[in-house]
């Protein structure tokens, strides 16, 4: 592993960082919220807000790794600050000579993927990064990288708020004006964080909730059903012969079909159902109803898809099951998958319900 390089403006960078008086400070909820959103937006198990000091990296907030400090020479983010205008993306640390011998690659937490968006001041000085990491090699889609850049801007804005508060303490005569500015900035931050959180739970193509949102909703619904004994059913929807549509007509046509099906699944026959896109051509339907009623709703959804107006006629197969108190989430999905397999094996364009053993 190479020893770290320093930016050309290192002296000015360290002076700017010291001016924020943030290195070594205790955890703060505002920064913790940012890393939670970063992990959700990029679908990674690890995320952090880091600040690169003279000889150490201070981890201000994190999920999946410990908050604290590490040597600067072991820091991934010390490489990210070398180019303040660009994200640093390392698809596979084992293939990168800068990181393959890094102790956080060779040992716990076994980082194989890294993406970091520099924390850049208005003067163009990079102080650290908002970064996400995974224990497997991977890449990030463009919209996830944009979200990471947005969160880095929010982290800098939060640092500005902290510094403004210090100034506020030393200018009591101007307190009212500073408080107004502080509150307005906080409102803007809260609104933008809410928008980012919503984006992290939404499928960009169809506008439906995504897999992560479905997982959160199922956890809540299952806990509620277990507590009050109410019914709960889960269905997996798969577009029939979707690969053939992509192969014959191209992926733009496939995207049109996905949007078409998403709209049909949300039509009045599915009122009251939670519908999300799992990925590819698969959707999930969660209903707080007995299996028989859930079957009727899914049948109405299937018919709605068949009747839906689009460039390409399309049908769906649906595998359905009910949840029982002894189930794990994986059990529910496995039964619904088996029911879906039976629906396809029986000729597709149908709903098959499977009772728990």
Residue whose structure tokens are 């600050």: 81
- Helix, strand or coil, per DSSP, at residue 30: helix
Contact between 212 and 43 (Cβ < 8 Å): yes
281 is annotated as an active-site residue:
yes
Q: How far is CA 231 from CA 97, 287, 322, in A?
A: 55, 8, 8
- What ranges make up the beta strands (E) of the chain? 46-52, 56-63, 68-71, 88-90, 113-120, 126-134, 233-239, 274-279, 282-287, 316-322, 351-354
Q: What are the structure tokens assigned to 106, written together?
A: 């060779």
- Torsion angles phi and psi, residue 156, rounded to 5: -65, -40
SS3 62: strand
**Class of residue 191 by CB neighbours under 10 A (exposed 0-12, middle 13-18, buried 19+):** exposed
Q: What is the DSSP letter of 55?
A: S
Tokens of 278: 């799992």
What radius of gyration, in Å, describes the C-alpha atoms of the chain?
25
What is the C-alpha to C-alpha distance for residues 245 and 258, in angstroms, rounded to an integer?
Answer: 11
Annotated active-site residue in 183, 281, 299, 303? 281
Q: Write out the DSSP string of 204-253.
A: TTT-SB-HHHHHHHHHHHHHHHHHH----EEEEEEETTHHHHHHHH-HHH
Task: Indicate which residues carry an active-site annotation.
Answer: 281
């Amino acid at each position: 592993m190479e020893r770290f390089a320093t930016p050309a403006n290192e002296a000015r960078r360290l002076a700017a960082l010291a001016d924020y008086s943030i290195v070594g400070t205790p955890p703060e909820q505002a920064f913790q919220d940012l890393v939670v959103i970063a992990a959700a937006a990029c679908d990674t198990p690890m995320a952090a807000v880091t600040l690169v000091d003279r000889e150490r990296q201070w981890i201000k907030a994190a999920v999946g790794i410990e908050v604290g400090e590490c040597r600067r020479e072991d820091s991934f983010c010390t490489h990210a600050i070398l180019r303040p205008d660009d994200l640093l993306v390392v698809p596979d640390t084992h293939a990168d000579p800068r990181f393959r011998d890094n102790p956080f690659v060779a040992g716990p937490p076994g980082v194989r993927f890294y993406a970091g968006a520099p924390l850049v001041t208005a003067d163009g000085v990079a102080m650290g990064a908002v970064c996400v990491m995974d224990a497997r090699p991977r890449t990030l889609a463009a919209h996830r990288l944009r979200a990471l850049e947005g969160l880095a801007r929010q982290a800098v804005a939060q640092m500005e708020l902290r510094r403004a508060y210090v100034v506020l303490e030393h200018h009591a005569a101007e307190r009212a004006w500073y408080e107004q500015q502080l509150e307005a900035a906080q409102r803007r931050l809260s609104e933008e964080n809410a928008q980012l959180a919503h984006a992290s739970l939404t499928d960009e193509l169809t506008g439906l909730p995504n897999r992560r949102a479905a997982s959160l909703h199922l956890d809540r619904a299952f806990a509620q059903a277990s507590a009050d004994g109410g019914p709960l059913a889960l269905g997996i929807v798969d577009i029939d012969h979707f690969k053939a549509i992509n192969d014959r007509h191209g992926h733009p046509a496939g995207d049109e079909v996905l949007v078409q099906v998403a709209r049909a699944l949300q039509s009045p026959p599915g009122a009251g159902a939670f519908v999300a896109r799992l990925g590819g051509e698969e959707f999930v339907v969660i209903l707080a109803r007995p299996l028989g009623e859930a079957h009727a709703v899914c049948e109405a959804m299937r018919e709605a898809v068949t009747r839906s107006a689009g460039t390409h006629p399309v049908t769906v197969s649906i595998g359905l099951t009910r949840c029982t108190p002894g189930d794990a989430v994986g059990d529910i999905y496995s039964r619904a998958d088996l029911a879906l397999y039976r629906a396809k094996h029986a000729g597709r364009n149908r709903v098959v319900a499977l009772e728990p053993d």
